[in-house]
Amino acid sequence: MPGIADRLALVHDAIAAAAARAGRVAADVQLVAVSKTQPPEAVLEALDAGQTLFGENRVQEAKAKMPLLPGRARWHLIGHLQKNKIRHALALNFDLIHSIDSFELARDVSRIADEAGLFPRLLLEVNVAGEGTKFGFPPERLRAQMEELLALDRIALDGLMCLPPLALRAEDSRKYFVALRELRDRLQTEFRVPLPQLSMGMSGDYTIAIEEGATLVRVGTAIFGERAGKTWKPVAGEGFDD
């Protein structure tokens, strides 16, 4: 069975090939290795293979895992952020939070960042397929709220993120990636703001996302293997209530 280093190498090859197909530079695509449910040993194995950027989807798990890993690991929060976890999340100093999914959340993050003397970098999560069960701004609501979002002065809005419906075929995701890019282009023109980051694509469809402009791909399974039934908790699980 291939190890984490082998799988990382395959992912890098696939990123390079997808970027080349789209006439893009592979260096413009950042690989976020999604380490949720993975034990620190697996993250360390990836670090030793040269991967330094990791994505966690829960604040409590990240909080427990981050101190167990060397400082050269960089972290992104990619999962839904509950309002009562904002303070914890900001204290962890994620390089980027991908999942700001409502105006109210953005407003609360800005307020708490102000109190804490921080200036977090954020992406706005868009519900590209209009799924009732999904977090994220419906595209038209994002346009309507953009002015107010830009007025929040303790946050840096860096771009957009999406998590399209689970697709049977990777190609089925393409239209959603195109929609996210077009929405980004439109917001940039309409509101005269740079939104350089597009976080889109996971293990099943990251090469398609890169063809459509992804600058951040969030890849877990293709690097770490199947997560089915996996969870990770620190041995001394104190305060681990999530």
Ligand X SMILES: *Cc1c(COP(=O)(O)O)cnc(C)c1O
Tell me how far, at minimum, the Cβ of 153 lies from ligand X, in Å. 27
In angstroms, the Cα distances linking 80 to 77, 177, 211, 223 are 8, 20, 26, 22
Nearest to ligand X of 19, 209 (CB atom): 209
Nearest to ligand X of 186, 230 (CB atom): 230
- The footprint of ligand X on this chain (CB under 6 A) covers a number of residues equal to 14
Kindly identify the residues of this chain, within the stretch 4-63, that bind ligand X according to CB under 6 A. 34, 36, 57
Residues found in the chain: 242
> How many C-beta atoms lie closer than 10 Å to residue 228's C-beta?
7
Out of 30, 102, 145, 221, the residue judged to bind ligand X by CB under 6 A: 221
- Build a one-symbol-per-residue string for 190-209: x at contacts with ligand X by CB under 6 A, - elsewhere: ------------xxx-----
Distance CA 100, CA 82 (A): 10
Q: Kindly state whether residue 213 participates in binding ligand X, applying the rule CB under 6 A.
A: no
Of 45-53, 129-137, 152-160, 212-220, the segment contacting ligand X by CB under 6 A is 212-220
Q: Kindly state whether residue 219 participates in binding ligand X, applying the rule CB under 6 A.
A: yes
Tell me how far, at minimum, the Cβ of 6 lies from ligand X, in Å. 17
Tell me how far, at minimum, the Cβ of 45 lies from ligand X, in Å. 16
- Provide the H-helix boundaries in 99-138: 103-116
DSSP sequence for 163-200: -PPP-SSGGGGHHHHHHHHHHHHHHHHHHT----EEE-
Q: Kindly state whether residue 139 participates in binding ligand X, applying the rule CB under 6 A.
A: no
DSSP state of 54: E
> Is the Cβ–Cβ distance between 13 and 219 less than 8 Å?
no
Written as six digits, the tokens of 125 are 């999560």
Q: Interface with ligand X by CB under 6 A: which residues?
A: 34, 36, 57, 78-79, 163, 202-204, 218-222
